[in-house]
């Protein structure tokens, strides 16, 4: 009874936020422990989030959303990380991608003339020649055809999004962010890159490069399970000299064509004389 009162008083002394996480399971585990408060705190920080009487494990493979120092919102999926085979070998390079979401204000595209106007003059009347100079008597009309132009409109502001694909070298700690126009960056060392994106990529490399062995196993398993298309190219001589073309041809038969060839294959001697032996076998008419 005394132990129960002590645990009850200790529970009442807990802060409201901690008390809200005390489930029946945690209480039963800690009720006989002298340091009830320490026991509750220890069990509440064991990598689980508590909801009522249920506990839910934190999913480390779930997509991560965070804001970089430059204000860009980033969505990173750990499942995008994979080992990359370079020069026939795994174990050094990783590949992953992330998406950045950012706001861009409205911008005005000024009107620009991209082809010149064209002037066409039509003359109506009589041209008389007086001496060495010519004179004109009549009317002249000029037509201006506007050239092509571009611009003169506003792009509204709003959220923008783009995906960045990263190839990383876990030995030299360099990385190539596709599309940034900067090539390979040195992320670790005396001359390391200090850009915000580089710091984020370095953090991800520090997390996933030590997991290289497991990533290589996953890549090798995926590679071994890939379906290999052994059918020759339809346009190649190899295809037409193989049995693949005959199987494709037979599979495209109509019901009428199938009946015709089935009747031809009934008489084996006649079918052989017509060079239909392979066709009859491939169609399943001969055992």
Helix (H, G, I), strand (E, B) or coil at 197: helix
74, 143: one domain: no
Both tokens of 175, joined, read 């990385």
List of residues 6+ apart from 278 with CB closer than 8 A: 243, 246
Instruction: Let me know if residue 216 belongs to a domain.
Output: yes
Q: Is the pLDDT of residue 259 over 80?
A: yes
87, 179: one domain: yes
**H-helix or E-strand spanning residue 135:** strand 133-145
Per the structure, the complete domain to which residue 51 belongs is given by 2-57
Instruction: Let me know if residue 287 belongs to a domain.
Output: no
Instruction: Let me know if residue 228 belongs to a domain.
Output: no
Q: Is the pLDDT of residue 178 over 80?
A: yes
Report yes or no: 126 and 137 within 8 Å, Cβ to Cβ.
yes
166, 218: one domain: yes
Condensed to tens digits (0 to 9), the pLDDT of residues 62-116 reads 888 888 888 888 999 999 999 998 888 899 999 999 998 888 888 888 888 878 8
Q: Rounded to whole angstroms, how far apart are CA atoms 287 and 285?
A: 7
List of residues 6+ apart from 133 with CB closer than 8 A: none
Q: Is the pLDDT of residue 286 over 50?
A: yes
Q: Which tops the pLDDT comparison, 133 or 53?
A: 133
Instruction: Let me know if residue 6 belongs to a domain.
Output: yes
100, 164: one domain: yes
- Kindly report the pTM of this predicted structure: 0.46
Torsion angle, CA of 80/86/91/92, rounded to 10 degrees?
Answer: -90
Q: Rounded to whole angstroms, how far apart are CA atoms 177 and 168?
A: 9
Q: Which tops the pLDDT comparison, 138 or 283?
A: 283
Instruction: Let me know if residue 229 belongs to a domain.
Output: no
94, 162: one domain: yes
Q: Which tops the pLDDT comparison, 205 or 158?
A: 205
Nearest alpha-carbon partner for 166 in 97, 214, 72, 241: 97
171, 119: one domain: no
Q: Is the pLDDT of residue 271 over 80?
A: yes
198, 71: one domain: yes
């Amino acid at each position: 009874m005394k132990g129960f009162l002590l645990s009850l008083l200790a529970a009442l002394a807990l802060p409201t936020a901690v008390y809200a996480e005390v489930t029946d399971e945690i209480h039963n585990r800690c009720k006989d422990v002298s340091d009830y408060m320490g026991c509750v705190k220890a069990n509440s920080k064991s990598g689980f989030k508590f909801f009522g009487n249920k506990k839910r494990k934190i999913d480390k493979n779930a997509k991560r959303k965070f804001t970089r120092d430059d204000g860009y919102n980033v969505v990173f999926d750990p499942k995008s990380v994979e080992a990359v085979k370079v020069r026939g070998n795994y174990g050094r390079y990783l590949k992953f991608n992330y998406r950045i979401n950012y706001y861009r204000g409205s911008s005005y595209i000024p009107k620009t003339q991209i082809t010149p106007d064209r002037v066409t003059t039509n003359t109506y009347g009589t041209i008389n020649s007086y001496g060495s100079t010519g004179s004109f008597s009549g009317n002249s009309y000029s037509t201006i055809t506007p050239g092509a132009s571009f611009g003169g409109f506003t792009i509204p502001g709003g959220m923008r999004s783009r995906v960045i694909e990263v190839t990383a070298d876990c030995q030299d700690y360099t990385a190539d962010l596709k599309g940034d126009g900067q090539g390979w960056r040195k992320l670790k060392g005396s001359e390391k890159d200090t850009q915000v994106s580089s710091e984020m990529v370095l953090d991800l490399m520090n997390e996933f490069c030590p997991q290289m062995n497991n990533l290589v196993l996953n890549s090798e398993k995926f590679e071994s399970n890939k379906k290999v298309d052994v059918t020759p190219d339809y346009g190649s001589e190899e295809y037409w000299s193989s049995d693949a073309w005959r199987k494709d041809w037979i599979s495209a038969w109509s019901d009428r064509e199938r009946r015709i060839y089935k009747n031809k294959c009934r008489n084996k001697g006649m079918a052989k004389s017509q060079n239909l032996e392979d066709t009859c076998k491939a169609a399943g008419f001969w055992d």
